[in-house]
Chains A and B, each alone.
Chain A
């Protein structure tokens, strides 16, 4: 649209808009389209991982994969969920390498690390009660799992609650520059552990269950490297997507999720793995209230921590030791979730020997979710700062 700026153009609706405004709208639409395409590329990565061996609707799940790593390292001993997932290493290393290449790597830290640890812990317990991080929630939605749509209500409400506190001045304070080597610790440590997982029998590997289903290690690593690098460039965040819509009326981040969802939906339909139902979904349960509250906790804690579980991995990769501590909180949260039976159990259909079970969290898991929601409220209320500009 290269009309002279002074000319007015009649929009189809009959409203008169200036050429400059039209140009701006076109460029915004153009960038949204680009973001949606980026989301579609993420979808393709997820499809590759699913087709090469990862559990179908768990092709990529940050919570599940950190839990599997916790299991592999014997921080918990839940037999079906033990495997050193290369994807987590790939996400962090992808972000690390691209931020080094683009000179965006900054070693930072000191913004309330212990509170961030608790928020990471809370996100993980909430995610494991629902059985998935926000990323897997979207994958489950694209496979027709209605429980994930129920959980989305909780997740959005949690993000909304966090946003409410942001508007009132919630802040964990500033991080500052720290020794560069501090930012190398998590990527380097994970790389060493990954090499050990390939070359030794140090780590536990599930013989059945989700932990036994995995893409070849190097394929998973390379796919996740690309995923991590792209996520770093595009600032993908599941909590941030909804937060930006509520807070800033900004639909950029959510456009990425739209593209991702569409590709996964097409894949699931084509692959015959789309089934619209509450029951009979793989690694899921239909205890609605706990799906809602679990993801409410994830959304709330994620906004207070400045990003969803996946975003924390990316930030940790580009040098944030605060996010690295959040990741450690998630790791410990995953270990506790299984050691103390907090994680939701998968619903199971009746077999010849056993009756059907509804699954969902145990009493301990329910108490943990409620208690952690309360703790998250305390963090939100007690970290209000007056902003001076």
Chain B
């Protein structure tokens, strides 16, 4: 079901596309937007949290960009070849790229970034690099990655936030975290770092020597730092702010802001991340250790209601463990529709005795608190005795890291491929205390491990598909975690900001092509 708001967005998106095709971009102007929360630093690759990616995705670049269908586009690499056995990837770099300090960007920078910098600092790059045997610069503008065996999602790993290109001449041989250039990041991107007034604003200015002709159009981007959600909404309302990136205002403010004159909205630009909201269910102890109980939870939850009421009808209720933007989704599975009757039967069958369980909302604001309340009510309707417990971020981390919970909300990025963003939640060798981001639920299934591991390195894609389809059937039956929603994170902006989202990570590298029609 689409709510009026969701329909309005589709309509707005259509008109927007047709108008922007007709216009010629005009250069100039500064866009004011929001960054929330304030990032701890701006050296992408060293820091990878969402706000750093969003700001620094305009300063730094990767070898590739991705379309909203997650097809690779040239960026620092102009072209690439993949060998027939899927083990050798050759990237041909652009030869006209310079760093913001004027030095030339070469293949040595790529080797340094991937082989030295990211291996030391970057957990998500490290996960990919374990499949890489060697990285070599065969000449100034050619880099060859040789893999130990084929790795399906390899081509999806070169986005700016995951495999950031950092300048070798400034970082080689230094203590990366103490490097003096961390205060003034140097990248190859369309915008240069200008100024950071802590607690107030981060200012980026146009890179005049950018290698793509005519780009960027904007003279600069100001990222305002406003800690209170209501104040951010006001700043957009009174016209100070042109662009509200996703997640910067509470969901219940969005319909009101979207209805204002000259305000457009898009859900695009998250395809690469495709944040997937889940309910951790403790597979180790308590009622949640019983598969039937977990299935009952799935049947008890009215996920469509949560989507329509709490998320303004945006997003997508997933079928199972693989979201709609992940590849290899198995569409043949029977959906877990809202079915309280079935849930009660399952609870009866397992002999649930009304033992009290707890649910931890994600401490990320009002929407998540309300969502937990909605789920609590759904579960109580089928006779599950559940209490909500409030925590802050530190407490939530600790409770999950110590496996001290029954049910808990979270959301994880899918990164376009099951081997990058999905398998990590279910692989048994990913069980380790102390982190809330691994196999927290404690699910162990040898067949699932086998299938995921084989599928990651199977070649070509048809083989991967068969393996992933089988693993989805098992997961669908076992319900290791609850699959709540693929979140729709809308970006709100003045309609005269054109061409804002042009890639699958659009929210993070969007200002490159943007221009102002004022």
Whether A and B are associated in the same complex: the answer reads no
Chain B residues close to A by CB (< 8 Å): none
Chain A residues close to B by CB (< 8 Å): none
